[in-house]
Amino acid sequence: TLEETARADLQLLVLDASDGNICEQYQTVLQVLKEIDALNAPRIIVLNKIDSVKDMFTLRRLENNFPQAMRVSALEKTGFDKLISAIRQMLFGAQKTYELPLEKAEILELIRKTGILISSEWQENAIKIEAQVSGKAQSLLAPYEILHD
């Protein structure tokens, strides 16, 4: 519903790339989002049916009008890996590496509940973790982040 849209952590605006009125439809959606005070929420624009767009002029117009949009084809099942990666990035931030002391192992459960635990390697004195986290988990893990050059 519109109420949930206003409270969403992330909006996915799925537009039909094959529709000649895509820009007008997008403007209508933005107007509705403005009316429900949801215009400033983080969002990803998704151009679906990109496989249906055959001419270069239309492709260039879509690229110019929606430069940050994710291009997918539900029919051909393409573009979804990038879309999932973008969703993860927007919700949980970048994937980072941490070296967590063994006595802080309980943080792993918080990561599993509130973020994405990509890998964990138990070592002699620490747990090496690859994760995407935000909020409290990010604050707790910050001192243990391994910074890469």
Contact 22, 50 (CB under 8 A): no
pTM of the model: 0.78
In the chain, DSSP assigns E strands to 11-16, 43-48, 70-71, 96-101, 116-122, 126-132
CA distance 71 to 48: 6
Q: Could you tell me the two tokens for 41?
A: 């929420």
Beta carbons within 10 angstroms of residue 76's beta carbon: 11
Encode the chain (149 residues) as per-residue pLDDT tens digits: 777 888 888 999 999 999 999 999 999 999 999 999 999 889 999 999 999 999 999 999 999 999 999 999 999 999 999 999 999 999 998 899 999 999 999 999 999 999 999 999 999 999 999 999 988 899 999 999 998 76
| Amino acid at site 33 | L
